Amino acid sequence: MTKPANHTLTWLKCLPETAPCAAKTPMETARAELDAAACAPKVELALEPSLGEGFRLEPQGEGYLLAGGETGVLYGAYRLLMACAAGDALPLGSHAPYYALRMLNCWDNADGTIERGYSGRSLFFEGGRFDYDPDRMRQLARMLASVGMNVLCINNVNVHENEHQLIEEAWLPQLAELAALFRPYGVRLMVSIDYAHPLRGGVPTADPLDARVAQWWKERADLVYSYVPDLAGFLVKADSEHRPGPFTYGRTHADGANMLAKALAPHGGTLVWRCFVYNCMQDWRDTVTDRPMAAYQHYAYLDGQFDGNVILQVKNGPFDFQVREPVSPLFYAMPKTNLALEVQLAQEYTGHQTDIYAMPPMWKEIFDDLPPSRVMAMAAVSNLGRDENYTGHPFAAVNLFAYGMTAWDPATDPAQVIRLWCRLTYSLPAQQEDALHALLMGSRRVYEKYTAPLGLCWMVEPHTHYGPSPMGYEYALWGTYHKANRDAVGIDRTSRGTGYAAQYPAEMAARYENRETCPELLLLFFHRMRYDDVMADGRTLIQRIYDDHFEGCDEAEEMARVLASLDLPPQDAQTAHERMVRQLRNAREWRDVTNTFFYRLSGVPDAKGRKIYD
């Protein structure tokens, strides 16, 4: 098994070299980290349980007093050490996380594979059983704690045969051992469960209103918590993409979630229930069903009916982690329900950790539209794996780092957090740091330009979701159509079309309804447009599509030049350059396939006479 090497440490490079192993509590970890750091000022720690996960740093004599709850002190210690390393002002004053749960969802399977994993095999499992390096686990725990994450769900939301054992007698002692490695860092484990698990345990039904089912889950939760008393809870994907759920029994998702939540409640556990529910068998001839409307239809009417320890986890957009989607309307429709915002660090649709794609600017757009008060937790699909550097592309670590910071404080400025990651990870001369920073800040827009035009979505290679395939999903079952013909493209989701826009509060709905006020980059998400329709800047739609694809590809070439000019550590440089070669190949493929696709349909040549294949 690969041991962590120094170049794998990404931003942890700024911390003392060896992770402290002997510490038993977050407070002891904080002390050990501060003592080991040569650069740290003198800091006295004070336990103030009322501060919980928050902390207060104030000058005291020659040094500082750092007060907080157990984990608060640890978070304070990391913030202080990172500020020292970056040459920033110390985080004086009081700080507390915005969201109570800051979760990382790993989609790891017991066989060692990772669903949508782009950085090697599972860190936790191999060959149908637990298999991990304890040192790497400690390093991972340290990474998570250093940016304030507090929950780690270790297995895929799609629960297969072997993972059932995570909550069965055979594997629970091992789950407890793993939990013990994360505990000194304030990280609690969570497991994904199979809603229909009682059927395997001798109960003839999984009907949430059947007393035998509720009893089975109660006993199961008691057993699990006897091994891992601080387990954060269960994560559930039900009635989604062929997973079992309450619909089988004619029950609602409130029935299902509350039944499970009641089993966890005596132990202080949380039931996280995903809202990624839609008909994944939609016939393409069905012109009435509009997939983005599904989650709202399934959940909005249930607002206020969920128990206090249930959190509904909603993907940021109504489709599925596309490059650009509007914020899910569900966030505005359930004011009486605990909601978690789910984002995806794994670059499933955003370049597979081969293409560079820094996410903070995208999250900022989400929070600009979504008052943070609407949600009380955040979850991110993990981008980690057994690759030496954890994230495949060394730059993909910026998304893990920034996610932690953003879940702690949704007002985190993307430019600042990316700058901090660059500085803590690499000691580059100022000009080079500026160049890397600009490259990362612009990377999302570049990827968007050479791939998805104006919020259209789903022109991607089916199944793998890397590379162009304009017609790949057009006659498939997934409800993801753009209906491009010789004159027009896009789905009309206004009141004249599917009516999706009306799922938003009136003011937002009106903004999306009207082509003049609809954000330009979402035009083809909400409107069906003719190729000769004129955009705000006077260009026709078809010209805009061509221009974006040529520009995006040119900008990717520029990114390659910038990358080549950076003095990165040799291992990172090699990995980044090797991936950039693939990114450029991908960008050219997207440009040419997409432009040719629209040219063949429309017959409209590029006004600038550039090469489009016929």
Q: At what angle do helices 541-564 and 570-602 cross, to 10 degrees?
A: 160
Q: Which of 53, 163, 342, 348 is catalytic?
A: 348
Burial of 115 (0-12, 13-18, 19+ CB in 10 A): middle
Q: Computed over its alpha carbons, how large is the radius of gyration of the chain?
A: 24
Q: Which of 125, 171, 217, 276 binds ligand GCU (CB under 6 A)?
A: 276
589 is catalytic: no
Ordered DSSP codes for 527-589: --EETTPBPTTS-BHHHHHHHHHHHHHHHHHHHHHHHHT----HHHHHHHHHHHHHHHHHHHH
Query: Please, what is the minimum distance in Å from the beta carbon of residue 227 to ligand GCU?
Result: 27
Helices and strands in the chain: count of H runs, count of E runs: 17, 16
Q: Applying CB under 6 A, which of residues 237, 298, 393, 445 lies at the interface with ligand GCU? A: 237
Question: In angstroms, what is the minimal distance from the CB of 294 to ligand GCU?
Answer: 13
> Which residues in 503-562 contact ligand GCU (CB under 6 A)?
none
Stretch (H or E) spanning 56: strand 55-60
Smaller CB separation from ligand GCU, 116 or 579: 116
Catalytic residue among 53, 108, 320, 365: 320
Q: Which is nearer to ligand GCU, 124 or 276 (CB)?
A: 276
Contact residue for ligand GCU among 115, 210, 255, 307 (CB under 6 A): 115
Alpha helices for 428-468 (secondary structure H) = 430-450
Cβ atoms of 403 and 95 closer than 8 Å? no
Element (H, E) at 105: strand 101-105
Nearer to ligand GCU, 237 or 419 (CB): 237
Near ligand GCU in 131-190, by CB under 6 A: 157-158
Strand, coil or helix: 360: helix
Is 157 or 181 the residue whose CB approaches ligand GCU more closely? 157
Q: Shortest approach of ligand GCU to residue 239 CB, angstroms?
A: 12
3-state SS class at 235:
strand
Nearer to ligand GCU, 225 or 247 (CB): 247
Decide if 70 is catalytic.
no
Min CB(329)–ligand GCU separation in Å: 18
Nearer to ligand GCU, 152 or 295 (CB): 295
Minimum gap (Å) between residue 116 Cβ and ligand GCU: 5
Which amino acid makes up residue 563?
L
- Shortest separation between residue 295's beta carbon and ligand GCU, angstroms: 12
Residues 314-333 that bind ligand GCU (CB under 6 A): 320
Q: Which two tokens stand for residue 438?
A: 């600009």
- Report the site for ligand GCU in 333-392 (rule: CB under 6 A): 348
From residue 25, alpha-carbon distances to 18, 224, 241, 267, 574 in Å are: 17, 22, 40, 20, 39
- Note whether 56 and 12 are within 8 A (CB): no
Kind plus residue range of the DSSP H or E element containing 65 = strand 63-68
Regarding beta strands 63-68 and 55-60, do their DSSP bridges make them parallel or antiparallel, or are they unpaired? antiparallel
Site string for ligand GCU, 209-228 (x = CB under 6 A): --------------------
CB 440, CB 398: distance < 8 Å = yes
Number of residues that bind ligand GCU (CB under 6 A): 9
Using the rule CB under 6 A, which residue among 95, 102, 116, 493 binds ligand GCU?
A: 116
* Residue 306 CB, nearest approach to ligand GCU (Å): 20
Q: Is 272 one of the binding residues for ligand GCU (CB under 6 A)?
A: no
Token duo for residue 275: 């809202």
Q: Is 461 a catalytic residue?
A: no
CB of 276 to ligand GCU, least distance (A): 5
- Of 12 and 381, which CB lies nearer to ligand GCU in the complex structure? 381
Q: Which residues carry out catalysis? A: 241, 320, 348
Binding site for ligand GCU (CB under 6 A): 115-116, 157-158, 237, 241, 276, 320, 348
